[in-house]
Structure 1
Amino acid sequence: MNGEIIGNIMIGLIAPIIIFSLAVFVFFKPKQRNVANNAAGFLLIMLSILMSGAPNFSAPGDIANNEIYKLIAVLAGLFGTAICAYVAFKDQSNSKT
């Protein structure tokens, strides 16, 4: 295997799987629910950024150039932003000031 193939596999498959696994792990953390939800949202936004940039570094036939891959990237970003916004608005509505 040459370095380009290994890099495409790392940025196209392994890194998104690791970041998604971290987001799921943090989301189900029972203590400090708001912090865990906010961290999961930011991890999903980071996943979206990584997956959106991956097609720029991949060869024409790789998985990162697939339309479904790009759709998952957009949905991860939207879902992460929605989680962060929900936590922020929930905290703001619960504040006493």
Structure 2
Amino acid sequence: MSVLRLQASRLIRPASAPSARVWSKGYASSVHGNDPKIIEEEKQRNLSGNQDSSAPHKEHAPGWNEHLASDSEAAVKADQATKPGKPGKDLQDATVERE
């Protein structure tokens, strides 16, 4: 092959890109991140009935543990927890009561 053909073939051939590792978390993400230690701690907390003091949805879903749920389950639970009426009004009232 001549030098011109080699140079021409390099122009036509696409340059190969270095492969990159892709780390997948799986199909669903979650608060616990599939950490077995966190899952076991939260499971034991639920079984003993000791709900975290900062747990959301205590009023309408006692025992709900967001740490054991997927992100989509937590989003659905949050959407279902909203009260009818002006959004944020109950949060404002609760904040004023605490101060």
Higher Cα Rg: structure 1 or 2? 2
Larger RCO, structure (CA 8 Å, separation 6 or more): 1
Q: Which protein has the bigger helix share?
A: 1
